[in-house]
Amino acid sequence: MPSALVEKALQGDKLSLTRLLTEVEAETPKGIQALDLIYSHTGKAHKIGITGAPGSGKSTLVAALVKELRRLPDKPRIAVIAVDPTSPFSGGALLGDRVRMLQIQHDPDVFIRSMATRGALGGLSDRTEAFTQVFDAAGYDYVLIETVGAGQSEIDVVNLAHTVIVVDTPDMGDDIQAIKAGILEIADLLVVNKADRPGVEGSVRNLQNMVNAGHGKDLNLHHHRFLTEKNQEKLEHIDAEDHWFPPVLKTVATENIGIAELAEKILEHGKFLKGHGLWELKTELAMHEIVARNLRLGLYRRWLEDADKTKLQAIMNDLLEKRISPNQAVKALMAL
C-alpha cells in the first residue's frame, strides 16, 4: 500500500520526514506500516554510535564531526539522533544536546532529531533503531547516534551501530577505570576529548594499556542462534586478521582539533568492516537483535491471548503457594 507521507519523506521533503519520525516514535498504525514500506530502501547508511560519560563532550564532538564529514568530496548527507533520558518521575524529558550543535543546523543536508529514552534503559530509546532505518531510507549517508551519558550498562548502541566511539576525558580519575572496562569492550574508536586539559597523556596511556591487555572489542556473539549460513560460517571463522584494534585518539571538540583524524578513522573502520565481511555480519546481527526482540514480544502476546485464563491463574496460585517452582510453572504455562 503506498503512502504519500512515506513517498514524500523519501523524496527529501523535510516536513514529511519529521512527521514520519513522530509517527514511528509513537508506534501509530501509520508509523508501523511506514517501516514496512521503507525497509527495502535501507542498508546504505553508515551508523555511528557515540557514547561516554555525561558531559564528556559527545554533542560537541558530534557537531565537529558532522562539519568534517560534510567536507568529504561526495558531500554526504548526515542525520543525528541525540538521545537524552526520560525522567522516571514525570515522564518528561529535557533534551539539551542541540545547544552544542547550533553551527550545523543551518546545513540543509544535516538533520538533527532529539529523542527521549521513554523508559528504555540501554542508553537509547526503543525506537532509535527505527529512526536509523527512516534516515537510512531517506538517503542519509551517515547516521550519528549520541546515547545518553553512559556509565557501563547503557550499551545498546553496540547492537545498532557499525562503528562505536567511546568518549573519555582526562579528568575522569582512576576511580572510574572500573566503569571503563565494561564500556571499553564496545569501542571501535576511543577518543580522549578535552585534550586541552591536563592529564591527557595519562588517559591515553591508560586506555592504550587496557586495549592492549585485551579489554578490546570482541564480537561477543555466542548467543546468536539463527543466522544465515553465510554469516554463521563467517562468525565461526573470525580470525586475527578480522580483529580491529581500537585506536586511541585525542580531540578538542570545541576547537576542532583532532577531528579530521577521527573522521578518517571512522571511514577506515567502515572500509575494514566491508573488506572483512564484517559489515554484512554486523547488519545481520543487528537485524537478529530486532527480530528476536519482536518475536519474543509477539509470541508472548499471542500466547497470552490464547492461554486458558482459568488454568493460567491456577498455575500462578500453585506457584505463589509454593506447590511448584518458577521453572515448573513455566513448563506448565508453556503447555497451556
Partner 1 sequence: MSEKKIRILIAKPGLDGHDRGAKVIARALRDDGMEVIYTGLRQTPEMIAEAALQEDVDAVGLSILSGAHNALVPQVIEKLRANGQNNVFVFLGGIIPEADIPHLLEAGVTKVYGPGTNTQTVCADIHQAIDNE
Nearest to partner 1 of 114, 208 (CB atom): 114
Nearest to ligand GTP of 55, 91 (CB atom): 55
Q: Which residues of 148-159 are buried (b: 16+ CB within 10 A; e: fewer)?
A: bbbeeebbbbbb
By CB under 6 A, is residue 117 in contact with ligand GTP? no
Residue from 23, 25, 97, 284 binding ligand GTP (CB under 6 A): 97
How many Å apart are CA 36 and CA 46, to the nearest integer? Answer: 21
Does residue 96 contact residue 55 with C-beta atoms inside 8 Å? no
Residue from 193, 203, 206, 231 binding ligand GTP (CB under 6 A): 193
Shortest reach from residue 284's CB to partner 1, in Å:
28
How many Å apart are CA 300 and CA 293, to the nearest integer? Answer: 11
By CB under 8 A, is residue 70 in contact with partner 1? no
Shortest reach from residue 332's CB to ligand GTP, in Å:
46
Size of the site for ligand GTP (CB under 6 A): 17
Shortest reach from residue 91's CB to ligand GTP, in Å:
20
By CB under 8 A, is residue 14 in contact with partner 1? yes
**25 Cα distance to chain centroid:** 16
**Binding partner of 90, given partner 1, ligand GTP, Mg ion, none, CB within 5-8 angstroms per partner class:** partner 1
The CA-based angle 217-121-273, given to 5 degrees, is 30
Side-chain-facing half-sphere of 153: CA atoms under 13 Å? 3
How many Å apart are CA 269 and CA 162, to the nearest integer? Answer: 9
Shortest reach from residue 40's CB to ligand GTP, in Å:
34
Among 17-25, 56-64, 156-164, 311-319, the segment contacting ligand GTP (CB under 6 A): 56-64
- From residue 84 to residue 103, the character string flagging contacts with Mg ion as x (rule: CB under 5 A) and all else as - is -------------x------
By CB under 5 A, is residue 154 in contact with Mg ion? no
**Binding partner of 116, given partner 1, Mg ion, ligand GTP, none, CB within 5-8 angstroms per partner class:** partner 1
DSSP string, 97-151: GGGGGGGGTT-TTEEEEEEE-TT--SSS-TTHHHHHHHHHHTT-SEEEEEPSP-S
By CB under 6 A, is residue 60 in contact with ligand GTP? yes
Does residue 82 contact residue 50 with C-beta atoms inside 8 Å? no
By CB under 8 A, is residue 89 in contact with partner 1? yes
Shortest reach from residue 102's CB to partner 1, in Å:
7
For residue 249, the one-letter residue type is: L
Q: What grid cell was written down for 189?
A: 574508536
**Residues forming a β-bridge with 168:** 192
Does residue 66 contact residue 110 with C-beta atoms inside 8 Å? yes
**Binding partner of 28, given partner 1, ligand GTP, Mg ion, none, CB within 5-8 angstroms per partner class:** partner 1
Task: Annotate 240-258 with three-state secondary structure.
Answer: HHHCCCCCEEECEHHHCEC
- From residue 18 to residue 57, the character string flagging contacts with partner 1 as x (rule: CB under 8 A) and all else as - is xx-xx--xxxxx----------------------------
Residue from 16, 59, 125, 132 binding Mg ion (CB under 5 A): 59
The torsion angles phi and psi of 165, rounded to 5 degrees, stand at -105, 125
Reduced to 3 states (helix: H, G, I; strand: E, B; else coil), residue 190 is: strand
Among 10-18, 147-155, 162-170, 300-308, the segment contacting partner 1 (CB under 8 A): 10-18
CB atoms within 10 A of CB 201: 12
What length does the chain have? 336
**Binding partner of 87, given partner 1, ligand GTP, Mg ion, none, CB within 5-8 angstroms per partner class:** partner 1
Q: Which residues bind Mg ion (CB under 5 A)?
A: 58-59, 97
Q: Which residues bind partner 1 (CB under 8 A)?
A: 14-15, 18-19, 21-22, 25-29, 86-87, 89-96, 98-99, 102, 105-106, 111-114, 116, 118
